[in-house]
C-alpha cells in the first residue's frame, strides 16, 4: 500500500487528506481519479486528520498530490 497526501486549495482555505492506494498506482492515476469525482459530483467528502469535510467542488482551485515518502512533501502541523 502507498500513502498519498492530497492538498485541495480552495477559494479561502487549504485542506489536506491522506489516502491509501494499492502499491502499483501512480500519482497521475490518483489525480485522474480525483478529477473524475469532481466532474461527477457537486460536493466531495474529504477525510481530514481531525474530522471529515464536505467540499463544494466549485470552490476547488488547485489539487496537489504527493507520495508520503516524497522528500519534497513537507507537511506542517496546524
Nearest Cα to 53, choosing from 21, 3, 13?
13
Residue 49 included in any domain: yes
Residue 78 included in any domain: no
Residue range(s) defining the domain that contains residue 53 = 2-67
Residue 74 included in any domain: no
Instruction: Note the pTM of the prediction, 2 decimals.
Output: 0.79
pLDDT of the residue at 29: 96
Would you write out the chain's pLDDT as a tens digit for each of its 78 residues? Answer: 899 999 999 999 999 999 999 989 999 999 999 999 999 999 999 887 788 989 999 999 999 999 986 555 555 544
pLDDT in tens, 56-77: 999 999 999 999 865 555 555 4
The pairing of strands 43-47 and 14-21 is unpaired
What per-residue string of b and e applies to 38-76 under the rule 16 or more CB within 10 Å gives b? beeeeebebeeeeeebebeeeebeeeebbbeeeeeeeee
Task: Please report, for the domain that includes residue 6, its CATH number.
Answer: 2.30.30
For the chain, what is the domain count?
1
**Averaged confidence pLDDT in the chain:** 88
- Owner of C-alpha cell 500500500: 1
pLDDT of the residue at 68: 80
Amino acid at each position: 500500500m502507498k500513502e498519498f497526501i492530497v492538498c485541495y486549495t480552495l477559494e479561502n482555505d487549504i485542506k489536506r487528506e491522506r489516502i491509501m492506494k494499492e502499491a502499483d498506482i501512480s500519482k497521475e492515476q490518483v489525480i485522474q481519479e480525483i478529477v473524475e469525482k469532481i466532474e461527477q459530483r457537486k460536493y466531495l467528502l474529504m477525510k481530514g486528520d481531525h474530522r471529515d469535510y464536505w467540499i463544494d467542488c466549485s470552490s476547488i482551485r488547485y489539487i496537489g498530490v504527493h507520495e508520503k515518502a516524497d522528500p519534497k512533501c513537507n507537511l506542517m502541523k496546524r
